[in-house]
Amino acid sequence: MTTTRSPKRTMSMPVIAATTAALPAVVLSSLALAQPSVAAPAPQPRKLPATLVAAMKAQAATTGTVIPAQAVPATLPAALRPMAPVVPDNYTVVRGDTISAIARRFNLDTSAVLQLNKLTPTTLIYPGQSIKLSGTAPAAPAPSAPPAAGSTNTATVYTVVSGDTLGGIAAKHGVPLSSIFSWNNLNGSSIIYPGQKIKVSGGSAPSTPAAPAPAPAPAPAPLASTGTYTIKAGDTLSSIASRLGVSLSALMSANNVNASTVIYPGQKLSIPGSSLQPAGETKPLVPSTFLGFTYPPAVVSSANENKALLNASPVPSRAEMKGIVADTARRMGVSPSLALAFAEQESGFDQRAVSPANAIGTMQVIPSSGQWASDLVGRKLNLLDPYDNATAGVAIIRALLATSKDLDTAIAGYYQGQYSVSKYGMYEDTKRYVASIKARQRTFG
């Protein structure tokens, strides 16, 4: 399936691809960045295909299309891994590792590795982190040692750096993740950011006594008089409530949100008080309309939540993403130059790209197509994860190549949808998309 394209758009305007799903075949479609080499007459208005309408309605009726922020990246099939070497005492995490993958590589039990390192199945690990593979788990009383040293009212504070996760910080300091949550008033869905201070032991933070001295306590008053607060990077509902001197329940009630609601920088919250003013409309991260098409509210809402999660998370640079796509293609038996052509066309290697149709990441894959890709590779893929996103896109390319009569038809299937191409043939904009992919492939060849 496809959407009509604006003949007035130029190549200088970056655009996020729009992707939809078709039934019964699961297919992809996205915005073609290529333009015809010569001026073409204005295309005649074309009705939205019935298959596209059905797909959008089906996606709008589907719940759970937002991928949880704490989802654990899955691992590659065992058949693609080398034989396990001798088990070392410690292992340094490299790009793309997961706990289950590390355990499988050394023929270890995943739960045993988690327990040995005081991790949970939802803990995120990061490159450079040291993981124990042998030995015994540290004694539980160890975290209570700092308070016994005499400075019982002083907590140890850790400054978050790029790539950190709460689980990783807890493991690094040998304390339970639940304690990190408790000491910092956080939970499993809280988002942390570089520069943020995290308590890694009980007691009060060293800087806490200094806070009342400058008497900044009255600061929340002006905010209360305006009735709104603009969310900044790293904010959580609980931290906002604490900073402004209001209860968390009152803040959630005033904004009709709950503890699992995803908030994002730039969003405005109503501050409970007698002089409340409406928070007003906030500009969404992802619009609901694109090139004349209006997408279902449920789909756009999911797209905005996924965009907020990606904006608040560290992602590879475009150059790094290019390497990930190429490596994934080689591993899966697909031409790297072809996979790179798709990735550049779809998003320009931008892992934070999300379209109004909820097409996610570098390869612009919607959740329903991501499920199909998961079935193709035999494991659950998390489209917010850059490695899984590349895997999903390459898996779909590989499937289209295997089931299409020729390369052009396979490329068209990624854009217009395989079923739509077989029934209606290639639309004019699909032909331009195919030509653009082949031209890009030559540059990567």
Nearest to 16 by CA among 358, 441, 431, 281: 358
Write the DSSP assignment of 367-423 as a string of letters: HHHHHHHHHHHTS---TTSHHHHHHHHHHHHHHHHHHSSSHHHHHHHHHT-HHHHHH
CB 158 within 8 A of CB 169: yes
8 Å CB contact between 414 and 383? no
Q: How far from 152 is each of 155, 157, 190, CA to CA, in Å?
A: 8, 14, 27
- Cα of 127 vs its chain's centroid, Å: 18
Nearest Cα residue to 417 out of 125, 24, 121: 24
Residues belonging to the chain: 445
Q: Tell me, rounded to whole angstroms, the distance of Cα 206 from its chain centroid.
A: 34
Is 346 a residue of the active site? yes
Burial code of 397-416, b = ≥16 C-beta within 10 A, e = fewer?
bbbbbeebeebbbbbbbbbb
Provide the 10 A C-beta neighbour count for residue 396.
25
For residue 271, give the amino acid letter.
Answer: I
> Cα angle at 72 between 319 and 82, to 5 degrees?
70
Nearest to 211 by CA among 169, 245, 185: 245
Q: Name the catalytic one among 281, 320, 346, 428.
A: 346
Whether the Cβ atoms of residue 427 and residue 412 lie closer than 8 Å to each other: no
Residue identified by tokens 């079935």 is 375
Catalytic residues: 346
